[in-house]
Chain A
Amino acid sequence: MRVPTVTQFQEQSEVMSAQMLQIQALQQKAETGTKLQNSSDDPVLASQIKAVKDYIQSLGNFDTNGKLAQNRYSLFSNSLQSAIGIMEQVRELTQSAQSDTLNNDDRNNIANELQSDLDQLVAIANTQDGNGSYIYSGYSTNTPPYVQQSGQYVYQGGYDSTSVYISPSITTPYNQSGFDVFGAIDTGNGSFTITAPGTNTGTATTSAGSVVSEATYVQDTYTISYVTNSSGQLAYQIVGASSGQVVPAPPATVPADAPAFVADSDVTFNGLTVSVAGLPNVGDSFQITPSTSQNMFNTLQQMITTLRTPINTPTETAAFHQNMTQSSAALYEVSDHLRSFLSQVGSNAAQIDSQVNTNDETITNQKIILGQLADVDMTEVTSSLMQQNIELQATQEIYIKIQETLFQLLRNSTL
């Protein structure tokens, strides 16, 4: 077979440039540390790498959210804990305030202490984060959730919490609605409130009362009124706004058949019980109304107002105790409510922590996988590079050899 001169040289130079290209590719790999310089080097591997990268990126977003949520929840937890601490103090003050040994000045002093507690609690509800956003204002983080308007604390934040995604499928509340935390607290004992009209003249006061049986409890507005029965005794009758006459049970008639009043005894009907102390006068009454929702600040404010009202007569003392009993029952509700909220915050925070951990672990694992997919094995590249270099040198030497043409040989021999 003939090997034309052009072919000889061309083949050698082609071999050399191919070798140079391979060396260049290896050098690029070594410099960038990645297997693929272009996706077209290996489209299948490239799409796997892209999928892992996108996954890491999207998890990274959730991870950031999770970490922000962790900060947010430590704010929630700290603020609720201090609120619960203040409420403890409030309860102690409330208990001592009901002592009959105190005079009007003492009660006024307690009212002053309670006022400062109230101010602190409002400040907690209006907690802002580092960006100045109110954390208990739901949709309206620019608006302080609680402000005082004509003597009443009003919630003006958003009624719903906003949430953020901490994983592709899990959301967690991020800006809490202060209405849920501080606002939606039932008055009275949580089921009903017992109030005395200002027209009572006796010294009777009621306990906070309670529901004895959820099954038989009939929610209604009841009026307990004191009458004289047919035996001439001081007696009581109870009428529900929609239940009608409850005590004495029909067909007994009122006031003739009304049961006699017994001091310090429990009156139980329609699933609820209440005890009455002191002595009512005929014509006195109490009203049992289903609890309504009220924010804790107004409850506390009412108590402060009660404490500041001077007591001079037994009737006023009775009214004072009636109000204090109801208000302190409501304050128990507040503490319970804050505690249950704190425990919910705790369990949310635990979920966030575990999700952040999961996210972090997944990201770490995915990064390892990405490394395995995308990164070059440096030892392999280095040894290939050395081998290629040796091969190139060999080719170059061959090239130099074949340059010695017959002509040169002839010329050499004649010299």
Chain B
Amino acid sequence: MNDIFNIGLTGLTAFQTAMNITSQNIANVQTPNYSRRQVNLQEGLFGTGVNVGSINRIYDASTSANLQNCTSNFSASNNLLTGLNTLEPLLDNDSNNTAKYINDTIASLQQLNTDTSSIQGRTLYLNQLSAMTTQFQSINAQILTQQQTINTQLSSVAQDANSVLVSIAHINDQIANSPATTDISSLLDQREQLVQGLAKYLNFTAANDSNNILSISLNNGLQLVGGNQAVTFEMVPDTSYPTNLDIAIDNGSTSVPLNSFVNGGEVAGLLTFRQSLNLAAQGMGRLSLAVAGSINAQNQLGMDYNGNLGADIFTDINNPVSLTNRVIPNTGNTGTANLTVNVNDLTQLTTSDYQLQFKTATTYTLTRIADNTVVSSGSVGTLPQAISADGITINLNSGAVAAGDQFIISPTRGAINNMNMTISDPKLLALGFPVAGVATTGLGSDGTIEITAMTDTTTSAFSTPKQLNPPLKVVFLSPTSYQIQNANTNAVMEGPITYNPQAGTNVFPTPGGYDPGYRVTISGSTIKTGDVFNIEYNNNGNSDNRNGLAIANLYSQGMLDQGTSNYIQAFNLVSGAVSQQTNAIQTQYDSNQILKEQAQNLFEQVSGVDTQEETVDLMRDQEAYQASAQILQTAKSVFDDVIQMLRS
């Protein structure tokens, strides 16, 4: 009799528990990372009813690891895409496009070239140049801001990750100290949530031991959490680029940066975006060097409105500040070498940074970082010494290098920081050539003289302001020969020199090697003996546009990449690279999102709560509970019957 009561009671208890668990499951239907519980009923021994054998937490470590991986990958591409989506409009934007600013300058210059004496036209061109410079500076400033934002974001990731690591270690500790009989399911759920949360920040491997203690380590084996111990992340300046902060593990005495061990999660996204920003900054920097360097050089070859030789329009690209800023010493250097870097050939200049490494105090290797190619190597003697490659010259000025010293050579990255307009007077635009040729030919002569190009205005020919030193005369001795005379003294400087009546002749440099810094072509098939061509300073030439045309040519000419990219094309390379990367990352993001959703679904399929299933369970358990109650009822009535019987 007692057995029936007991059996009924075990049924009530068991189904009560089952209904509790079902309710718990239903209540947590929306709880993230909640793993549903399942009650396993067990037959009581020797006819003693039913027992709750175990309450299982339905959880599969492999689906969890899969979700964690997919979360890391998704979060990396999500973070990178967010960054790129802010960078792309900066460079690729219809209303505020840098290409448009460049085009505006050439449009105003083309117009100015129809009348270079117009102060209004000169002012407009100068204003357009200034607007373009401001645009360069503004893009550069925004890239710089985004780079600083990355530092901030990495720091906050490090902080959050630190607290997650500490919490995981703490839960490990709680689990280790729980009595064997305690239900640790909710601790495991909490830890699961922390682990999946950590996966958003970085990728790692989580391993559960037989005692449910979770250890977390990076892919290279570096342990982040072991038992109740967690490492601490800290921010350290990058050894190569000290303005960048890296997340590092504090080992007490040393800091180990994570950069090369993490390829998932927000950290990876931020680090990749840092590279994208770098590329954009380098590309824009190179463009600014091309614009400033080439326009400066051409303006120096010209003659301004006042009749003086032209000067720089923009800050000299090799100004003392830039020379120094292009060198970033490694934070661990021990030598005393003082380095500066000149940019001397724009057509060779790449966007890449370079690593200059001194393996010993007497040998160096210069590596182009973009494609990891050694572009120069050799020995180092007593300074000064110069190393040239890719259009730059690295000057080792003074001091001494020590073995192991490293320098980052960054010719382009900060270039825009030092790009400014140095003139504001429109008259200083040097749009004419300082040299004029006048043909004083005799009858029946078709001789013409043309100054075809200016090559150097620092020669002795230009040592006296507003004069040629000396002015020259090309005097024809016969229809096929001429001599060059000093026009002031009539002294013969060189000749006779052969003249080619069919093709004309380039006068300079002369066969004797005289090069005054300009190029002159004399042509004509019927030049007569005694014809004279004067070469003199271009006085009164404020409408001369020959140098203006030469500056306009810079816009269509390939200034960069061995002559294949002009300004606009160079800019399009920068913005195109960002667009291409954004496109690729968008695709990656889309697929990572699907993978992550699938992983989430897989996880939920195993561990998630299905309310329909739970409802059915609840109804079934309710039935069973009611039946168990009926057992008690029956037992009671049987007992009552017996008592009644005994009474009667």
Contacts and interface: CB of A to CB of B under 8 A. Distances in A.
Interface of A: 1-7, 10-11, 14, 38-43, 46-47, 50, 54, 57-58, 60-62, 64-65, 68-69, 72, 131, 133, 137-143, 156-160, 162-165, 168, 171, 174-175, 186, 190-191, 219, 290-291, 293, 405-407, 410
Interface in B91-131: 92, 99, 103, 106-107, 110-111, 113-118
Given A40-B582, A290-B443, A410-B615, A62 B110 contact: yes
A2 B608 contact: yes
Nearest to B572: A50
Given A43-B580, A405-B611, A158 B586 contact: no
Given A2-B605, A40-B88, A40-B579, A139 B115 contact: no
Interface string B577-616: 0111111001000000000010011001100111111011
A64 B608 contact: no
Contacts of A405: 611-612, 615
Nearest to B569: A54
- Nearest 10 interchain pairs by C-beta: A4-B608, A40-B582, A39-B579, A141-B543, A139-B544, A139-B541, A4-B604, A61-B110, A40-B583, A40-B579
22 contacts: A6-B604, A6-B608, A39-B92, A39-B575, A40-B84, A40-B581, A41-B583, A43-B580, A47-B572, A61-B107, A65-B113, A141-B117, A157-B540, A160-B544, A164-B545, A164-B549, A174-B545, A175-B543, A191-B444, A406-B612, A406-B615, A410-B615
A11 B602 CA distance: 13
A132 to B, nearest CB: 9
B107 A190 contact: no
A48 to B, nearest CB: 11
Contacts of B575: 39
Contacts, number: 182
Interface residues of B, number: 63
Contacts of B600: 7, 10
A140 B545 contact: no
B110 A165 contact: yes
Contacts of A72: 114
A46 B577 CA distance: 12
A137 B572 CA distance: 41
Interface string B534-575: 000010111111100100100010000000000010001001
Of A11, A46, A61, which is in contact with the most chain B CB atoms at under 10 Å from its CB? Answer: A61
Given A46-B576, A191-B443, A7 B582 contact: no
Interface of B: 29-30, 84, 88-89, 92, 99, 103, 106-107, 110-111, 113-118, 432, 436-438, 440, 442-444, 450, 528, 538, 540-546, 549, 552, 556, 568, 572, 575-576, 578-583, 586, 597, 600-601, 604-605, 608-613, 615-616
B450 to A, nearest CB: 8
B243 to A, nearest CB: 28
Query: Which secondary structure characterizes the binding site on chain A?
Result: mixed
A407 B576 contact: no
Given A57-B103, A61-B107, A133-B543, A162 B89 contact: no
Contacts of B586: 40
A64 B542 contact: no
B543 A42 contact: no
A1 B606 CA distance: 10
A405 B26 CA distance: 13
Contact of A6 (B29, B579, B580): B29
A46 to B, nearest CB: 6
A167 B167 CA distance: 71
B110 A139 contact: no
Contacts of A162: 113, 116, 543-546
A4 B600 CA distance: 11
A19 to B, nearest CB: 15
B110 A164 contact: yes
Contacts of A138: 543
A159 B88 CA distance: 51
A65 B546 CA distance: 15
A87 B551 CA distance: 42
B117 A43 contact: no
Contacts of B84: 40
B305 to A, nearest CB: 10
Contacts of B615: 405-407, 410
B543 to A, nearest CB: 4
A65 B575 CA distance: 30
B601 A38 contact: no
A405 B578 CA distance: 48
B244 to A, nearest CB: 25
A242 to B, nearest CB: 11
B556 A58 contact: yes
